[in-house]
């Protein structure tokens, strides 16, 4: 009866992951709660900072931390950041983010595969962030990834589900949870990803750039749940030609 | 604090309207409850039938009935059906549906305006179903409509929000509730309509053609609520070029 | 063998109509020639002006003039402008344009039908500009229109083929030439309209706002011809799932 | 004045490349001529076959052959096929196609980079076929590719320009010709790719699956030329809100 998301050895009932960049620390706890997020991402830098600005103080204890390797330009740097994250107490979950392009910030799939292999061997629960590509996803599966996180659109763009066709291939053919990450700009787009059969959605910029951050976090959670429910309920057919009346069109007046 | 939808003299807290065509009477009460629908549409024929098949027995008493004039091919017939609906106890709410095209079932905007004027004068709360068109919507406003119900796509097609551009004009320029009706096939599309600022969404075929009708009714309700919440929270900007990192990209390793 | 467009009693080999607003009179003849346009629209005002600014002096004699009733806010005004156009020597072709909305400039379908009926009775070859709507198109057919000109998007917006679904209904079900008008912003969009089976396309703003007006006029003409050729050649099927190799994928190395 | 496409040491005036799979040898010469194709792809197997079915006999001498490595499942096999192609007289141009996925036939970007490096070193003019990805394209540039051939959609699907966003990045940021390959199903889509600034388009299945193969080849050529011309002419702005009349809307009747 329970519909849970399993990643590594953990199990989650929430399928909405929240990123914590670009908005104030003060809003963090409130947003995480509104989002009912059980996994929260943050840059390691923000976890390492001393004093009151350490983001960890603002994230509820019940939440699984998913530090990312933001700042890494290759596999070696990503591995180094991951190890540091574990050392400073962020746990075994790690989101691999390797970016050498500074204009569009597109992930480097090849370096991400390398880092995944190394870190999976070291016992990390590895969630690699990639441009959706079936061959890359298969390589990540073989490398020991615990999930795959394909981007919907360039990070921070709020452009929506531009890679739909390619994410669908991963959903259909890869035996790992597919968590749509980056580019989702509206709850309706998160809902659509879930309707396609994605296992979860992560949002950050779409929440952070809303006028009311906390309400938007909640709206995303609701939309993700709606999309999951619709997926499980089985969407109806699309009619490619003509219309089909819900109500009887003829005969009434002749009764 | 309360965010209510006002139509005529009534006020509703739910913004999801459910149509009851194409699925079994037995599922009706359950679906209405799952959808938390406060307004339910049905063809008058189904309310007039004798015996156990009368749909009204399956619709909770707390719900506002919205009989439609399905079967009407012109204003005269729509008016006649509306009066019958009132006579048989369906109340004052009436959805005008005038269809003379039997292939695509596209509403006749001109005849709908005429029927609206007559019925509004007779004290009905008139909700006209139309192809979205700014001039038609202004005429309906002048004719005394209580709301305008533009179609998203051909009725029963599940094709989604094809008329987005033209529904947006109604939302921005018409001082009546805009209830998106017909063609919505997925909860994500209902959510998107609400994010645009629509006041409510009606679905029927999308629910009726789902594998699990009751769950899909619930999924729609959740998506509509998510879209409304997102609209009120204020959506973030879309970045047309490049990306924008949520996490700091540089400097970490140099610390 | 010849693929001609018949409107009223005239026959044309070009399926690209050019509007002449928003760019300099000096470029007009050159653009008309580059576009190989055989029908050219212009506001009557520009044909009536005295002296060197009269646009008619810049339009080649071989071209059929299609004055529009721009400025008309109802059927009566449109009829008056049409009659004036004939009086000042613009001929019998008239494009009905009735606009009472000053923000989106959406045509008034109901008033356009009225004007069409009156002018068709007076022997005009009437080309009404409308929001695409199957019932309106049928009424225009009955009213004696010589063609129907549905908009692709709000006039002057360059937004492209937003009303595709509804234009397709007209192409499939109306026995009049369908000329897509307004909103087309790129040659590829004009090409797509022709591939759908539209009989012709009119562009104005897309040409007028290009950096090089004359080259863009030519590009549109080429794209319209390409789309027509593709329509006649019969487009291939779309594969909804998977891929399909053009070249043999296996066996080669085993030869 | 001349607008030519340079690939390796050769220069072309046509920007439409034709693939020769899936249609009869007898139509090949006619289609190549109708398409005005100066570069033609084919599987090496078809060039190696003995007797009358050797495709090379059907391709005009003036055309540059672009054999592909179809059938290769990794870099090693691709390199082997490329060398064979040169040996049997197909010249120095080679399209690298490495496919290990047999369902969607998605190219393996990583193996393609390896093969490109080896073959470029051996003096081939290498045109690698890839899933569009900015990092991959940069690696191909560094590996000595002469152009990059990103897919628009799964090969043979006719689904159109699904990867628009990611192809645009290559056009904007990579100093190699970008030739859009695979998935283009209609001339309008080829035209749109050229309007974005692509250097050329290759089609095969869209031509081969048309009712009239030769006419469709010609339609594609025309659409590619139209798109190129539009790109050079400079597309006009898109208006995101409201409309903008081409003709004067007011004052006429007051003259």
pLDDT band of residue A59 (cuts 50, 70, 90) is confident
What's the distance, CA A163 to chain centroid? 14
pLDDT band of residue C251 (cuts 50, 70, 90) is very low
D159-164: long-range contacts at Cβ-Cβ below 8 A with a sequence spacing of 24 or more? D159/A165, D159/C238, D159/C239, D159/D183, D159/D185, D160/D184, D160/D185, D160/D186, D160/D189, D161/D189, D161/D192, D161/D193, D162/A164, D162/A165, D163/D131, D163/D132, D164/A162, D164/D192, D164/D196
Query: For A101-153, what is each residue's pLDDT tens digit?
Result: 888 999 999 999 999 999 999 999 999 999 999 999 999 999 999 999 999 99
Q: Is A186 helix (H, G, I), strand (E, B) or coil?
A: coil
Contacts of D131 in chain A (CB under 8 A): 133, 166
Of A11-15, A225-229, D39-43, D117-121, minimum mean pLDDT range: D39-43
Whole-angstrom CA distances from D156 to B45, B232, C252 are 49, 44, 20
- pLDDT value at position C43? 87
Residue C181 has φ and ψ, to the nearest 5°, of -135, 140
Token pair recorded at residue B167: 């529904």
pLDDT band of residue C49 (cuts 50, 70, 90) is low
Mutate to test the interface with D, among A103, A106, A135 (most CBs of D within 10 A): A135
- Residues within 8 A of A (CB atoms), D 158-177 only: 159, 162, 164-166, 169, 173
Is the confidence at residue A50, as pLDDT, over 70?
no
pLDDT band of residue C45 (cuts 50, 70, 90) is confident
Please answer yes or no on whether A245 and B159 come within 8 Å at the CB atom.
no
Please answer yes or no on whether C205 and D19 come within 8 Å at the CB atom.
no
Contacts of B158 in chain C (CB under 8 A): none
Is the confidence at residue A255, as pLDDT, over 90?
no
In angstroms, the CA D247 to CA D224 distance is 31
Does residue B220 belong to the interface with chain A, where contact is any CB pair within 8 Å?
yes
- pLDDT value at position B10? 96
- pLDDT value at position D50? 56
Q: Is D132 helix (H, G, I), strand (E, B) or coil?
A: coil
Rounded to an integer, the average pLDDT of C167-181 is 96
Size of interface C-D (CB pairs under 8 A): 296
Torsion, CA B42, CA B46, CA B51, CA B52, rounded to 10: -50
Residue found by looking up tokens 């983001």 in the block: A55
In angstroms, the CA C210 to CA C35 distance is 14
Please answer yes or no on whether A162 and D159 come within 8 Å at the CB atom.
no
Q: Is C182 annotated as a binding residue?
A: yes
Q: Is B230 helix (H, G, I), strand (E, B) or coil?
A: helix
Contacts of B135 in chain C (CB under 8 A): 100-101, 106-110
Mutate to test the interface with A, among B41, B81, B245 (most CBs of A within 10 A): B245
- pLDDT value at position C40? 94
> Where is the binding site for 1-deoxy-D-xylulose 5-phosphate, in residues of D?
156, 182-183, 204-205
Query: For B26-79, what is each residue's pLDDT tens digit?
Result: 888 899 999 999 999 988 877 666 555 678 888 888 899 999 999 999 999 999
Query: For D219-244, what is each residue's pLDDT tens digit?
Result: 999 999 999 999 999 998 888 777 78
| Minimal C-alpha gap between C103 and chain B (Å) | 9
Contacts of A166 in chain D (CB under 8 A): 131
Of B203-207, C30-34, C60-64, D110-114, minimum mean pLDDT range: C60-64
Does residue C142 belong to the interface with chain B, where contact is any CB pair within 8 Å?
no
Token pair recorded at residue B215: 């769950």
Ramachandran region, residue D40 (left: φ > 0; alpha: ψ -120 to 50; beta: rest):
beta
Identify which of D41, D42, D39, D40 has the alpha carbon closest to the alpha carbon of residue D13: D39
Q: Which of B185, B233, B246 sits opposite A215 (nearest CB)?
A: B233
- pLDDT value at position B243? 79
Does residue A153 belong to the interface with chain D, where contact is any CB pair within 8 Å?
yes
Please answer yes or no on whether A133 and D106 come within 8 Å at the CB atom.
yes
In angstroms, the CA A39 to CA A147 distance is 13
Q: Which of A107, A108, A165 sits opposite D153 (nearest CB)?
A: A165
- pLDDT value at position C53? 64
Q: List domains and CATH numbers for chain C.
A: 5-233 (3.20.20.70)
- The residue ranking higher by pLDDT, D115 or C243, is D115
In angstroms, the CA B146 to CA B127 distance is 6
| Minimal C-alpha gap between C73 and chain D (Å) | 9
Name the strand (E) or helix (H) holding C86. helix C75-87
Token pair recorded at residue D220: 């594609």
Q: Establish how many alpha carbons lie within 13 A of residue B240's alpha carbon, considering only the half-sphere containing its beta carbon.
A: 1
In angstroms, the CA D246 to CA D250 distance is 12
Ranges of residues in chain B with a pLDDT under 70 are 1, 47-53, 247-255
Please answer yes or no on whether D159 and A136 come within 8 Å at the CB atom.
no
Does residue D105 belong to the interface with chain A, where contact is any CB pair within 8 Å?
no
**What does the DSSP assignment read for C40-63?**
EEEEHHHHH--GGG-GGGGS-TTS
| Minimal C-alpha gap between C124 and chain D (Å) | 20
Mean pLDDT (chain C) is: 91
pLDDT band of residue C254 (cuts 50, 70, 90) is very low
């Amino acid at each position: 009866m329970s519909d849970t998301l399993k990643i590594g050895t953990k199990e989650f009932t929430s399928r909405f992951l929240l990123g914590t960049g670009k908005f104030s620390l003060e809003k963090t706890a409130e947003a995480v709660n509104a989002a009912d997020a059980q996994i929260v991402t943050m840059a390691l830098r923000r976890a390492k900072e001393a004093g009151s600005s350490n983001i960890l103080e603002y994230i509820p204890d019940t939440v699984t931390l998913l530090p990312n390797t933001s700042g890494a330009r290759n596999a070696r740097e990503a591995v180094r950041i991951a190890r540091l994250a574990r050392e400073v107490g962020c746990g075994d979950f790690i989101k691999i983010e390797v970016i050498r392009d500074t204009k569009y910030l597109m992930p480097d799939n090849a370096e991400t595969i390398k880092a995944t292999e190394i870190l999976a061997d070291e016992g990390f629960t590895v969630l690699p962030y990639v441009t959706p590509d079936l061959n890359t996803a298969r390589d990540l599966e073989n490398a020991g990834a615990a999930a795959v996180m394909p981007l919907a659109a360039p990070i921070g763009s709020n452009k929506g589900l531009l890679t739909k066709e390619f994410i669908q291939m991963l959903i259909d053919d890869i035996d790992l949870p597919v968590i749509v990450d980056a580019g989702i700009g509206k709850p309706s787009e998160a809902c659509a990803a879930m309707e396609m059969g994605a296992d979860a959605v992560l949002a950050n910029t779409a929440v952070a750039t809303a006028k009311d951050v906390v309400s938007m976090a909640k709206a995303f959670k609701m939309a993700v749940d709606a999309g999951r429910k619709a997926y499980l309920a089985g969407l109806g057919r699309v009619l490619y030609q003509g219309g089909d009346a819900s109500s009887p069109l003829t005969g009434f007046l002749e009764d």
